[in-house]
């Protein structure tokens, strides 16, 4: 076993740390306060190649791998979880296209996403379909050489800024299929962004599909394989969420160490108190455990292994870890931790989001348990 990052991964990690400090951190509070989607920052992240880390050079990616993807997201989320989440969620459509697309579909639809020229959105969830994917009711009717898609999607990340959508709908055989839908198609309409406690500026919103026509050739993969496509893609995004959780928790630890050295009580910095040291040590050990779980899961993906179970373990552990660690960080900061003027309360709100999106913790436990008792 070798737990060292390669020289290339170390360079990517260090460049991302620098980018996050210079370009992301100064904008983090404003993104949270205004909840506006950070389009300019997305352009800069695209310029750094962050949307193509895991994808081959033939489609414009850098082929750096999934561990590089996790390393970058961790550093971005340390500064702003919204920035990390934008890169993390942007893996969904490329992953689906790369694994299930025809050569023609890859040539046409994958490259703009990998280059970050277009953002993709992944339209699965519906008002009545959160944890229960079988409850999907959006329909895709075949009419000659087209499919006509009608339905309502909910909480769709990046939908308002996406150039391209992957829409899951029941086809004429009543099975779920996936369709590539240009976002400018008539009838495709993204609603107002959801007003969430954390991950603000991420812009998840409803999508109305009012008889959206797409050529039959926009069916992704085989007809009826929508669930397989969805499961494959979200197992990779879960690594991204684990990396976000690790980053936000590390950010909270950094702030806590700094704060405890500067805050004086009883005439001494609180960092000298055993209770504060206990909190800092607990935080550091939990972050470290989450980090290596995340890296290992990404590493397995780089080896070409399936990670449906492993990514559920990583997402479950890291999201709970982030909630606990940011809660401890609030405690280190005392009353000041509850103030909007300090960043730690934002991290606490952001961390909570990792327990619910890309599958709630209960669903991750169900995946893990079913594997254990199979």
Ligand X SMILES: Cc1cc2nc3c(=O)[nH]c(=O)nc-3n(C[C@H](O)[C@H](O)[C@H](O)COP(=O)(O)OP(=O)(O)OC[C@H]3O[C@@H](n4cnc5c(N)ncnc54)[C@H](O)[C@@H]3O)c2cc1C
Question: Which residues here bind ligand X, judged by CB under 6 A?
Answer: 89, 122-125, 130-131, 155-157, 196, 199, 202, 204, 353, 356-360, 362-363, 366
Q: Helix 25-34 to helix 344-353 angle, to the nearest 10 degrees?
A: 70
Of the pair 96, 204, the CB lying nearest ligand X is at 204
Strands 219-220 and 205-215, sheet pairing: unpaired
Of the pair 64, 196, the CB lying nearest ligand X is at 196
Q: Across the strands, what pairs with 342?
A: none
CB of 76 to ligand X, least distance (A): 16
Of the pair 280, 358, the CB lying nearest ligand X is at 358
Q: Which two tokens stand for residue 308?
A: 């449906």
Of the pair 18, 362, the CB lying nearest ligand X is at 362
Of the pair 128, 272, the CB lying nearest ligand X is at 128
Distance, in Å, from the CA atom of 212 to the CA atom of 185, rounded to the nearest integer, reads 7
CB of 131 to ligand X, least distance (A): 3
Q: Which residues contact 268 (CB under 8 A, 6 or more apart)?
A: none
Q: Across the strands, what pairs with 150?
A: 139
CB of 360 to ligand X, least distance (A): 4
Give the torsion sign (CA, 372, 285, 323, 205).
negative
Of the pair 107, 370, the CB lying nearest ligand X is at 370
Q: Which residue is nearest to ligand X (CB)?
A: 130
Q: Is 307 helix (H, G, I), strand (E, B) or coil?
A: coil
* Contact assessment for residue 156 and residue 122, using Cβ atoms and an 8 Å cutoff: yes
CB of 363 to ligand X, least distance (A): 6
Of the pair 46, 358, the CB lying nearest ligand X is at 358
CB of 228 to ligand X, least distance (A): 16
CB of 210 to ligand X, least distance (A): 18
CB of 362 to ligand X, least distance (A): 3
Q: Is 154 helix (H, G, I), strand (E, B) or coil?
A: strand
Distance, in Å, from the CA atom of 340 to the CA atom of 86, rounded to the nearest integer, reads 23
Of the pair 201, 290, the CB lying nearest ligand X is at 201
CB of 190 to ligand X, least distance (A): 11
**Of residues 218, 210, 193, the one with CA closest to residue 151:** 210
Distance, in Å, from the CA atom of 347 to the CA atom of 295, rounded to the nearest integer, reads 22
What is the per-residue DSSP string for 213-245? EEEGGGEESSTT-HHHHHHHHHHHHHHHHHHHH
CB of 96 to ligand X, least distance (A): 12
**Of residues 268, 267, 283, the one with CA closest to residue 332:** 283
CB of 104 to ligand X, least distance (A): 25
**Residue 152 burial (CB count, 10 A):** 17
* Contact assessment for residue 203 and residue 39, using Cβ atoms and an 8 Å cutoff: no
Of the pair 206, 276, the CB lying nearest ligand X is at 206
Q: Which residues contact 107 (CB under 8 A, 6 or more apart)?
A: none
Distance, in Å, from the CA atom of 162 to the CA atom of 95, rounded to the nearest integer, reads 16
SS3 readout for 174-198:
CCEEEEEEECCCCCEEEEEECCCCC
Of the pair 12, 234, the CB lying nearest ligand X is at 234
């Amino acid at each position: 076993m070798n737990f060292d990052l390669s020289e290339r991964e170390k360079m990517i990690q260090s460049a991302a740390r620098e980018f996050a400090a210079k370009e992301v951190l100064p904008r983090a509070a404003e993104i949270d306060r205004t909840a506006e989607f950070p389009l300019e920052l997305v352009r800069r992240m695209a310029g750094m190649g962050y949307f193509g880390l895991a994808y081959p050079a033939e489609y414009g990616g850098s082929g750096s791998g999934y561990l590089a993807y996790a390393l970058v997201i961790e550093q971005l989320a340390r500064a702003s979880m919204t920035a990390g989440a934008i890169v993390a969620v942007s893996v969904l459509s490329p992953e689906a296209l790369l694994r299930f697309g025809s050569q023609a579909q890859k040539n046409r639809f994958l490259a703009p996403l990998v280059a970050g020229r277009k953002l993709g959105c992944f339209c699965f969830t519906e008002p009545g379909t959160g944890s229960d994917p079988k409850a999907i009711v959006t329909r895709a009717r075949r009419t000659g050489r087209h499919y006509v898609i009608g339905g309502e999607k909910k909480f769709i990340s990046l939908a308002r800024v996406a150039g391209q959508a992957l829409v899951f709908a029941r086809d004429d055989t009543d099975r779920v299929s996936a369709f590539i839908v240009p976002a400018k198609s008539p009838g495709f309409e993204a609603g107002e962004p959801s007003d969430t406690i954390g991950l603000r500026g991420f812009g998840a919103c409803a999508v109305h599909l009012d008889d959206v026509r797409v050529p039959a050739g926009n069916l992704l993969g085989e007809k009826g394989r929508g669930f397989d496509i969805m499961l494959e893609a979200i197992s990779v995004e879960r690594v991204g969420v684990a990396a976000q959780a690790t980053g936000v928790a590390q950010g909270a630890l950094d702030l806590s160490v700094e704060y405890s050295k500067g805050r004086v009580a009883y005439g001494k910095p609180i960092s000298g108190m055993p209770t504060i040291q206990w909190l800092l040590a607990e935080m550091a050990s939990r972050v470290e455990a989450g980090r290596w779980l995340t890296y290992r899961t990404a590493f397995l993906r780089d080896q070409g292994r399936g990670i449906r179970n492993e990514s559920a373990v990583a997402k479950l552990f890291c999201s709970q870890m982030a909630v606990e660690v940011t809660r401890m960080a609030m405690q280190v900061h005392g009353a000041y931790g509850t103030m909007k003027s300090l960043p730690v309360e934002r991290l606490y709100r952001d961390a909570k989001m990792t327990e619910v999106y890309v599958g709630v913790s209960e669903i991750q436990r169900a995946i893990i348990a079913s594997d254990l008792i199979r």
